Chain A
Amino acid sequence: AQSVSQHNHHVILSEAASLELGCNYSYGGTVNLFWYVQYPGQHLQLLLKYFSGDPLVKGIKGFEAEFIKSKFSFNLRKPSVQWSDTAEYFCAVNSPAGGTSYGKLTFGQGTILTVHP
Chain B
Amino acid sequence: DGGITQSPKYLFRKEGQNVTLSCEQNLNHDAMYWYRQDPGQGLRLIYYSQIVNDFQKGDIAEGYSVSREKKESFPLTVTSAQKNPTAFYLCASSFAVGGDQPQHFGDGTRLSIL
Indicate if B29 sits at the interface (CB-CB under 8 A): no
Does A103 lie within 8 Å of B56, measured CB to CB? yes
Does A44 lie within 8 Å of B99, measured CB to CB? no
Contacts of A107 in B (CB 8 A): 35, 42-44
- For B82-114 the 0/1 string (1 means CB < 8 A from A) is 000000001010000111101101111000000
Indicate if A108 sits at the interface (CB-CB under 8 A): yes
Contact of A94 among B41, B98, B106, B108 (CB under 8 A): B98
Given A90-B42, A104-B45, are A96 and B102 also a contact pair (CB < 8 Å)?
Answer: no
Q: How many residues of A contact B (CB 8 A)?
A: 28
Does A96 lie within 8 Å of B98, measured CB to CB? yes
Indicate if B58 sits at the interface (CB-CB under 8 A): yes
- For A38-56 the 0/1 string (1 means CB < 8 A from B) is 0000111110010100000
Q: What are 11 sample pairs from A and B whose C-beta atoms fall under 8 A apart?
A: A4-B42, A43-B107, A44-B92, A46-B102, A49-B100, A94-B99, A103-B97, A104-B45, A105-B103, A107-B35, A108-B42
